[in-house]
Amino acid sequence: MTPFTQYKPWMIEQYGEPLYRIPVQLATSCPHGRCAFCTENGSKAQQTQKQQTPHDQIEAAIHFSKRRYRAKKFMLYIQAFTADLTDPKQQTTLFQCLEKFQFEAISIGTRPDCLPEPALDFLEKLKTQIEVWVELGVQTATNQTLKTINRGHDWNCSKQAIHALAQRKIHVAPHIILGLPNEASNDWKNTANELAKLPISGIKIHNLHIIKGTALANNPPPTLSHWEYAEGLFEVLQRIPPNIPVMRTSTDTPSDQLIAPKWHLEKGQFLDYIIQQMTMRELSQGQLNNNEPKKNSTHPIPFTPVPTDDGSITFFSNDWKEHYHTKKGARLEAKKKYAEPAELATKLKTTHIKLLDLCFGLGTNSLAALCEASKDIKNRGTLDITALEIDKSIVRAAAQNFQTLETDPINWINVLTELLQTNQTSIGKHRLKIRWGDARWLIQNIEDQTIDLIFHDAFSSQHCPELWTVEFFRQLHRTMKPDGKLLTYSNAAPVHGAMREAGFHIAETEPKHQMGNGTIASPTKLPENHPKPDKPNPRRSTPYRDKHLCATSKAILRQRQEALPT
């Protein structure tokens, strides 16, 4: 199951096949003028730009859909500008289209202030012939924003239109935009909460595009990156009832017309990203909807404990085809490759340390650090840990299966449970907070030169190159204090190559216990007592790259393979 109700599977369940939209232009203008984000052509579909008559547009669009998608069933989509549903000429044209071509349903894009009683009467009459949807341009529930974008109506008008359509049993799918001028997360949440109270049948959501020739292009406001938009989208989807199909999560604008934002993900890649993020972070449509009955949260745990040689447990990741720790010992690895080389016990006698635990997993590295911090109650220093993790299920599995030792100064199961519930906890005078999501995005929100120590414990670079690239290490370098240290279990040549190019000085750690050497890195030169890595081999040290910090693992691996010197 996907974490939200995707439109295509929903249509297949309803109609037996997905309905492919056949866009048609009936109107040539909007009654109130242009909204600040609207183009001169009223968002006319690209595949029908050259056709003048509605019949020609339909024939061209059906031909396009059959050829490109092998489409079998269709929905007539009255798209560009705002149709005047009280205009007898437009009504006649619409009925002629339905007579000449076979459609399963019709969807009409319009505005809340363009639905007087005669228009509603017409829609009700139309409903006797075909299933009718109205895609209503709501955009936001914030009245000030509606004024700013020259929308020409207020939120109350939108609510009245939704109720009026629903009373006549006409499907309503509000269209909202995230990232409108001066709006932020609270505005998006409010819009979602307000829509969730109303009798809607679907929803369309996308981020603001600044397009050439629009009013916003004259003084473009900031736009959302794909990371920022995804976070806003998650907030909205969690508030929309779970049975409502999500008809759109992104939009297309031809590159020669788009001013901003300039994303580096294709539409399908962005969809994959939001599904992955919601799934791994245990987010789902409707879970924050106040109108839905609350259910006991049950999440299947796809992990079976794997014993390691020191008596502690690890897990095996089916996604990455690796264990989370060496089989020599999960706790032993945390101690010998992270806590001890960091010299925490010594430093915390006098110093406050900010630790970034990258890829928290079972939390074994943070636990090892806290155990070191708790060795001497006279320590004046404190440990402030920020953990980054994408997968809630691994933390949940650890909370259910972790083996606390009698010698542990901390009940780690209680710590993990509290992190799952509140994202933070205190252990004596030390603190631990967790941030959920893609580390490539989360790291960009950490201030420059604020981190003393980084534990880097991602899956291996040959399976998860995303967190071993030059660009990612540059982000880590940026966040570290000049005398900060980065520790990782890996000493792979491409990892060392990426670290060097990112500006790190590197050496190796020697954990013994039949475990390979790890790596210690710093923005400044390291003491001579650390063993130096072998002289880099140009081919083996070719680093992984991810220019925009959003490439897939396959793309990163392919790019490195192509960059290898011959």
Structural domain total, the chain: 2
Residues whose CB is less than 8 angstroms from the CB of residue 309 and which lie 6 or more positions away in sequence, other chains included: 327, 328, 329, 332
Instruction: Give the residue among 358, 388, 363, 390 at the shortest CA–CA distance from 280.
Output: 390
Q: Residue 105: inside a domain, yes or no?
A: yes
Q: How far apart are CA 232 and CA 245, in angstroms?
A: 18
Mean pLDDT of 468-474: 98
Q: Are residue 267 and residue 332 in the same domain, yes or no?
A: no
Q: How far apart are CA 204 and CA 198, in angstroms?
A: 15
Q: Residue 294: inside a domain, yes or no?
A: no
Residue 28 pLDDT level (bands cut at 50, 70, 90): low
Q: What is the pLDDT of residue 46?
A: 52
Least confident of 376-380, 422-426, 508-512, 559-563: 376-380
Q: Are residue 267 and residue 343 in the same domain, yes or no?
A: no
Q: How far apart are CA 25 and CA 38, in angstroms?
A: 15
Higher pLDDT, 352 or 86: 352
Domain housing 45: 7-280
Q: Are residue 244 and residue 317 in the same domain, yes or no?
A: no
What CATH number is attached to the domain comprising 409?
3.40.50.150
Least confident of 4-18, 236-250, 364-378, 391-405: 364-378
Residue 471 pLDDT level (bands cut at 50, 70, 90): very high
Q: Give the model confidence (pLDDT) of 54-104 as tens digits.
A: 899 999 999 999 999 999 999 999 986 677 788 898 899 999 999 999 999
493-501 and 470-479 are packed helices; what angle lies between their axes, rounded to 10 degrees?
50
Residue 51 pLDDT level (bands cut at 50, 70, 90): low
Q: In this model, does residue 253 exceed pLDDT 70?
A: yes
Q: Are residue 246 and residue 362 in the same domain, yes or no?
A: no
Q: Are residue 241 and residue 330 in the same domain, yes or no?
A: no
Q: Are residue 260 and residue 402 in the same domain, yes or no?
A: no
The average confidence (pLDDT) of the chain is 93
Q: Are residue 239 and residue 373 in the same domain, yes or no?
A: no
Q: How far apart are CA 470 and CA 415, in angstroms?
A: 34
Q: Residue 215: inside a domain, yes or no?
A: yes
Residue 42 pLDDT level (bands cut at 50, 70, 90): very low
Q: In this model, does residue 464 exceed pLDDT 70?
A: yes
Residue 134, SS3 per DSSP: strand
Q: Are residue 321 and residue 253 in the same domain, yes or no?
A: no
What CATH number is attached to the domain comprising 73?
3.20.20.70
Q: Residue 11: inside a domain, yes or no?
A: yes
Q: Are residue 440 and residue 352 in the same domain, yes or no?
A: yes
Q: In this model, does residue 301 exceed pLDDT 90?
A: no
Q: In this model, does residue 241 exceed pLDDT 60?
A: yes
Q: Give the model confidence (pLDDT) of 430-453 as tens digits.
A: 999 999 999 999 999 999 999 999
DSSP 373-437: HTS-TT----EEEEEEES-HHHHHHHHHH----TT-SS-HHHHHHHHHHHSEEEETTEEEEEEES
Q: Are residue 494 and residue 432 in the same domain, yes or no?
A: yes
Q: Residue 290: inside a domain, yes or no?
A: no
Q: What is the pLDDT of residue 18?
A: 97
412-422 and 392-401 are packed helices; what angle lies between their axes, rounded to 10 degrees?
150
**What DSSP character marks residue 6?**
B
Residue 544, SS3 per DSSP: strand
Q: In this model, does residue 510 exceed pLDDT 80?
A: yes
Q: Are residue 212 and residue 257 in the same domain, yes or no?
A: yes
Q: Are residue 198 and residue 65 in the same domain, yes or no?
A: yes
Per cent of the chain over pLDDT 70 is: 95
Residue 250 pLDDT level (bands cut at 50, 70, 90): very high
DSSP 453-493: EEEE-PSPTTT-GGGSBHHHHHHHHHHEEEEEEEEES---H
pTM score, two decimals?
A: 0.94
> How many other C-beta atoms are found inside a 10 Å radius of the C-beta of residue 121?
13
Q: Residue 2: inside a domain, yes or no?
A: no
437 token code pair? 């999501």
Least confident of 45-54, 143-152, 406-415, 485-494: 45-54
Give the containing element (helix H, strand E) for 186: helix 185-196
Q: In this model, does residue 292 exceed pLDDT 90?
A: no
Q: Give the model confidence (pLDDT) of 178-235 as tens digits.
A: 999 999 999 999 999 999 999 999 999 999 999 999 999 999 999 999 999 999 999 9
Q: Residue 296: inside a domain, yes or no?
A: no
Residues whose CB is less than 8 angstroms from the CB of residue 131 and which lie 6 or more positions away in sequence, other chains included: 104, 105, 106, 171
Q: Residue 88: inside a domain, yes or no?
A: yes
Residues whose CB is less than 8 angstroms from the CB of residue 398 and which lie 6 or more positions away in sequence, other chains included: 315, 361, 362, 363, 416
Among 280, 295, 317, residue at a domain's last position: 280
